[in-house]
Amino acid sequence: MNRFWPSWLTGLFVAVLIALAATFVAEHYGGPQLLYALFFGMALNFLAHDGRTKPGIQFAARHVLRLGVALLGARIAMDQIVAIGFLPMLWVAIGVIVTIATGLLLSRVLGTSTSDGLLTGGAVAICGASAALAIASVLPKSEHLQRYTIITVVGVTALSTIAMVLYPLFAGLLGMSGNVAGLFIGATIHDVAQVVGAGYLMSTETGDTAIVVKLFRVALLVPVVLSLSILFRGKATPGETKRPPLVPAFLIAFCLLVLVNSVGVLPAPLVQTVGEFSRWCLVVAIAALGMQTSLQDLASLGWAPIALLVGETVVLAVFTLAYMQGIT
């Protein structure tokens, strides 16, 4: 490649095209945008082994991913979190810890690795696919982790979509009020998009509460990823001689954006634009991860990842309901 066309640009361009195709299908025919990007990418798995596209695919799967996670901070303001109230926030935070601990326990029972339990537990506990990608970025790199990340994204998105349909019905059967139902939905459904869908399916009040609670869970991504970064910092990744930073740069950027947005200096249209660009980065990164994974690789993981995700989802829902019953 010449100096006007860097070696990583071709693969990045392919990942962007896949993201555009996934977005078109999602907008015109419905369905989860991230899953379309993942499956379209997997259909082009051969490009990950092509010297012309490989550098760009790796660039998208690593750097574009981290940029997308960092920009998530622009969606969160501290006054939104304070508005939830101390006890609900505390319960949601404990729920995150309990879910991740469940992932670790189930990973031992199922004979999988600690990293697998942390990855799936964090994805279910915090914010679905986005959390899975962020957590995977600070765990020791391996082909197994890459495959587990993909199956986690698929599984957590599917479970989140099922919850988007079932949880509002469940909240209605239990007679939850608007705010209480919003707290339940925001504290249990995995992905932000599905929280929005489920919340506003019930009422505007429920949707508004669900989004605020969900954004608090997203904010908990910072201490979780920071803790894992410190925990696994001393464990070298094969082929890497440079130690990773104590605090990843994308995590610092995330925190700075939360602070800036909390001060109120960012206009609402800019916050919305940054949030959309963040989503786009994650779609491009998912497309790149899809190209790096084959169906045969995923099949080799067996049923353990799905069992982990389902077990963690059930524990989080039951734990949250225990609190709901105390305030209804």
Q: How far apart are CA 172 and CA 159, in angstroms?
A: 20
Evaluate the CA torsion angle 94, 192, 73, 231 in order and state its sign. positive
Residue 83 sits at the vertex; the CA angle it makes with 81 and 88, to the nearest 5 degrees, is: 75
Q: How far apart are CA 211 and CA 217, in angstroms?
A: 10
At 141-151, the pLDDT tens digits run 888 888 888 88
Q: How far apart are CA 218 and CA 282, in angstroms?
A: 15
326: pLDDT confidence band, cut at 50, 70 and 90? low
Residues 6+ apart with CB under 8 A from 58: 8, 11, 288, 292
Q: How far apart are CA 220 and CA 167, in angstroms?
A: 23
Would you say 189 and 164 are in contact if contact means Cβ atoms under 8 Å apart?
A: yes
Give the pLDDT score at 276. 85
Give the pLDDT score at 275. 81
From residue 88, how far is each of 15, 92, 207, 323 by CA, in Å?
40, 6, 16, 9
In residues, how long is the chain? 328
What backbone phi and psi angles, to 5 degrees, belong to 113?
-85, 165
Give the pLDDT score at 241. 45
Q: Is the pLDDT of residue 90 over 70?
A: yes
Would you say 132 and 155 are in contact if contact means Cβ atoms under 8 Å apart?
A: no
pTM of the full predicted structure? Answer: 0.73
Give the residue extent of every domain in the chain: 9-228+245-322
Q: Is the pLDDT of residue 244 over 70?
A: no
Tell me the DSSP string of 258-309. HHHHHHT-S-HHHHHHHHHHHHHHHHHHHHHHHHT--HHHHHTTTTHHHHHH
At 42-86, the pLDDT tens digits run 889 889 888 889 999 989 888 887 888 788 778 777 777 777 788
Structure token pair of residue 60: 């998208």
Structure token pair of residue 253: 């950027």
Q: Is the pLDDT of residue 249 over 80?
A: no
Give the pLDDT score at 109. 92
Among residues 202, 209, 193, the alpha carbon closest in space to that of 88 is found at 209
Radius of gyration of the chain (CA): 19
